[in-house]
Amino acid sequence: MSPRARTATKVGLELAVPVLLLVAWQLWSVSNDDPKFPRLSSILVEFRHMWLFSQFHEQVLPSLERIAAGFTIGVVAGVALGVPIGLFRWSRIWATPHIEWWRNMPPPALLPITVILLHSIGDRQKIGFIGFFCLFPVLLNTIDGVRGIEPTLMETARSYGVSWWEAVRRIVLPGALPQIIAGMRTSLSLAVITMVLAEYFSSTNGVGYVLLISKNTFQLTPMWATIVLIGALGYGLNLLFALWERRVLAWHRGWRATTAE
Amino acid sequence: MLEIHSLGKVYGSGERATHAIGDVSFSVDERELVCVVGPSGCGKTTLLKCAAGLMRPTSGEILLRGQAVTSPPEEMALVFQEYSRSLMPWTSVRNNVLLPLRHKDLTRAERARLVEEAVEAVGLTRFLDRYPWELSGGMQQRVAIARALAYQPSILLMDEPFASVDAQTRADLEDLVLQLRDEFDVTILFVTHDIDESVYLSDRVVVLTHAPTEVKEVVHVDLPGARDQIETKELAEFARLRAHVYRLIKREQTEEAGTSPGGRGEPLTAIDGGSGVSVEEDRSLPETADRTRRG
């Protein structure tokens, strides 16, 4: 099988099941005619009407901006905290209970308090909320990645008089990067979840806000169209991330292949 | 140049203390290549790490040009046995060799030149922009050697550098080390468990006892002419020295296995500041009949 044919088969397989499900949905919803489950065709018409692109600018862009800002804050803070915690045993002893406490906190439990603590029901509160929950997967993976750095490599750096900061930059960060990226991937889907949650709770625009309005006005077709949009958003972001990861971690795949022998 | 004075290293304390190194003294002169051999588990790596300033000895001291070594000295470079672990897999050969130069007070062009010279000296110019893991084991160790050379050390410490490469590659790398010593004018302290290697490479071989380690004997290697993998190893003198070192180590191993802890048989040969008893003075050795070269 040629590489092109193989790619085509892979994409075909990936699409086959969703397409079948959608066809089933359409057939079932046509025969059933239940307002709770609008026809797929109606949902798609509504989707096009709402999101391509009349309300995109007004409702989707703010959500994407919040995801971007919250995710960035979470990743930067996670790496910045994770590196020292991973490097020093005493800081791990100190930090572990705090991390274990907060990382198991369900996001909705903290929604009200963020409004009060951040004096905001606007972007500041939403970005802070998203950032906080994006922090933990990155933090935990960074700690693990830093602890897994080859000791011989650190010893080599030390024997050459490489400074602490230089070693962090040249050895610790790139060495922990595969793990950091694994954490970022988890954080990215958390960012979408917490974005919708925060907007649903208090907002004047955004995807979550549209969901809330649709619910309050019993508009089920727009609600389904929005659910489709959120799914597509998560899928698309993950796809972009995977493409970026492929490029950044090309060395890691090659190296793993040689050490696996 | 490098002096090791009654070095001792104890791991742990109290009843669980392990005396890795008892009392080791020897010295390495300028431009000399000294090999350290000993029975397995005799603390060779510990000794080297102490000498490199990576580990604090429990007692004794290490002097480099008269200065006490307490942290890794600038004029010293270290090559580890595990090349695949001491190289960064995420970046090119070039950047790996560049790592120790980044903090040196050099211009960009000087750094680039040092890297390229060192990589050329080990014959890997074609592979400058490859990842280390794309290269064979022997080539990876060459990268590690190039990195050490680019650092421009006056003394190179090598910890069983060729223990995990095949025999042919090993022979090539041994010759490379001899060649680089002349080319870069470095002093080398070379730890190995391979007796042939130690005799082939050295000006002197420091033979260690089992733990708690002491110096059993310092053997002077006085082989004529440039070293050659075939001809040198054919010399009667080579065979004699090899056999001598071998016996010393074998005796150590049987003693360790055979006697109760504490009593370790005959007293050790007295060593004074590294200028030990040479083989020629050792009457217990059987004279080898054929001393001529069988070319």
Q: Name chain B contacts of A152, Cβ cutoff 8 Å.
A: 80, 82, 85-86
- Residues B184-236 have pLDDT tens digits of 889 999 998 888 899 899 999 998 888 788 888 888 888 877 888 888 888 88
pLDDT band at B256 (very low <50, low <70, confident <90, very high): low
Minimum distance, in Å, between the CA of residue A150 and any CA atom of chain B: 7
- At A36 the pLDDT is 84
Q: How far is CA B10 from CA A129, A253, B71, B263, in A?
A: 53, 42, 19, 19
Neighbours of B243 (CB within 10 A): 15
Q: Kindly state the tokens that stand for B126.
A: 């074609």
CB contact under 8 A, B90 and A177: yes
- Residues A156-210 have pLDDT tens digits of 999 999 999 999 999 999 999 999 999 999 999 999 999 999 999 888 899 999 9
The answer to whether the complex's ipTM is over 0.85 is no
Q: Which of A159, A248, A255 to mutate to test the interface with B (most CBs of B within 10 A)?
A: A159
Q: Note whether A165 and A40 are within 8 A (CB).
A: no
**Amino acid identity, position B158:** M
Cα A120 to Cα A138: distance, rounded to the nearest angstrom = 26
Cα B249 to Cα B192: distance, rounded to the nearest angstrom = 13
Which string of DSSP letters, residue by residue, matches A209-251? HHHHHHHHTT-HHHHHHHHHHHHHHHHHHHHHHHHHHHHHTHH
Counting Cβ atoms within 10 Å, is residue B225 exposed (0-12), middle (13-18) or buried (19+)?
exposed
Q: Which of A152, A160, A179 to mutate to test the interface with B (most CBs of B within 10 A)?
A: A160
Minimum distance, in Å, between the CA of residue A159 and any CA atom of chain B: 5
CB contact under 8 A, B88 and A175: yes
- At A203 the pLDDT is 87
- At B193 the pLDDT is 87
Establish if A158 touches chain B: CB-CB under 8 angstroms: yes
Closest CA to B206 of B56, B50, B30, B29: B29
B60 pLDDT above the threshold of 70: yes
Which chain B residue shows the shortest CA-CA distance from A157? B100
- At B258 the pLDDT is 58
Residue of higher predicted confidence among A35 and B100: B100
Beta carbon pairs, A and B, within 8 Å: 70
Counting Cβ atoms within 10 Å, is residue B278 exposed (0-12), middle (13-18) or buried (19+)?
middle
Cα A121 to Cα A108: distance, rounded to the nearest angstrom = 15
